[in-house]
Amino acid sequence: MDGSLHDWLEGRGPALTLVGAIDDATGRVPAACFVAHETSWAYLSLFLGSFTKQGLPQAIYADRHALFWTDREPTLQEQLLGRRPRTQVGRALEELGITLIPAGSPQAKGRIERLWGTFQDRLVSELRLAGATTRAEAQAVLTRFLLFYNRRFAKAAADAVPAWRAVESPQLVQTLCFKYRRVVAKDTTVAFQGAVLSLPTRSPFVSWAHKAVEVHVRLDGLVEIFLHHDRLARFDAHTARTVGVYRTNGRREVVRYGPDTTTTVQPYASAP
């Protein structure tokens, strides 16, 4: 999988990046989407749409983009757990049991690079003929184009038994999100991205103070706080946006929390 920054609309609209994947066994494109930038949110959203319909792949072959790999030093918690530093995308794939394979050069991932060459010719022509000027219009053209492309170019796999693994949708939603560790303050609040999230009191004899919790920011904008597998609090997208949870983290990953509000179309195109 990869992202392709290209003048897809030939100056008729905003600059777009096409994020997508190709099945190594069949040459089929299971999903692709137009986004403003190549971000963690874009890849996690693409995974959610693709994995829900098709299941989990055994491995994903990607370049050494900072969205997939990080060279930062491990935190003390990571050292104690014996874990290597991971990005949000890398962490999500690892939790789903998907191997992330790094490509050392553009030539190493030649199949996806050849796909972008084809799309930059044929898809650009389709976008021009449709007169697409916005990302929503481009996404609609892409959805139709994928149907044609897969019928025309996808081949039967050498082994008819699919390697994709079945997965429950709730597991995907809880995994394909942003996760961060925080420590509960004395007043049972959690500070996150400049916002203060208050935990409800369950009993006068139970306190979450000084406990290490996980803040999950889901792709639909909902924010949840977990202590191990116990959900302590849940904030809907409107509440989370009101208190200021959705911020950018451009210095590391160029991520945007919460749903993509710039268009009403699906954030991915997934071929049947």
Domain limits, the chain: 2-167+261-270, 178-217+222-243
pLDDT at 253: 45
Superfamily of domain 2-167+261-270: Ribonuclease H-like superfamily/Ribonuclease H (3.30.420.10)
pLDDT at 125: 97
Q: How confident is the model at residue 250 (pLDDT cuts 50, 70, 90)?
A: very low
Checking if the pLDDT of 254 tops 50, the result is: no
pLDDT at 69: 86
Read off the pLDDT of each residue in 48-70 and give the average, rounded to a whole number. Answer: 91
Q: How confident is the model at residue 264 (pLDDT cuts 50, 70, 90)?
A: very low
Phi–psi pair at 250, nearest 5 degrees: -60, -25
Name residue, tokens 């690079």. Answer: 113
For the chain, state the CA radius of gyration. 20
Quote the distance between the C-alpha of residue 91 and its chain's center: 11
Give the list of residues 6+ apart from residue 176 with CB closer than 8 angstroms, or none: 44, 45, 47, 48, 51, 92, 219
pLDDT at 206: 83
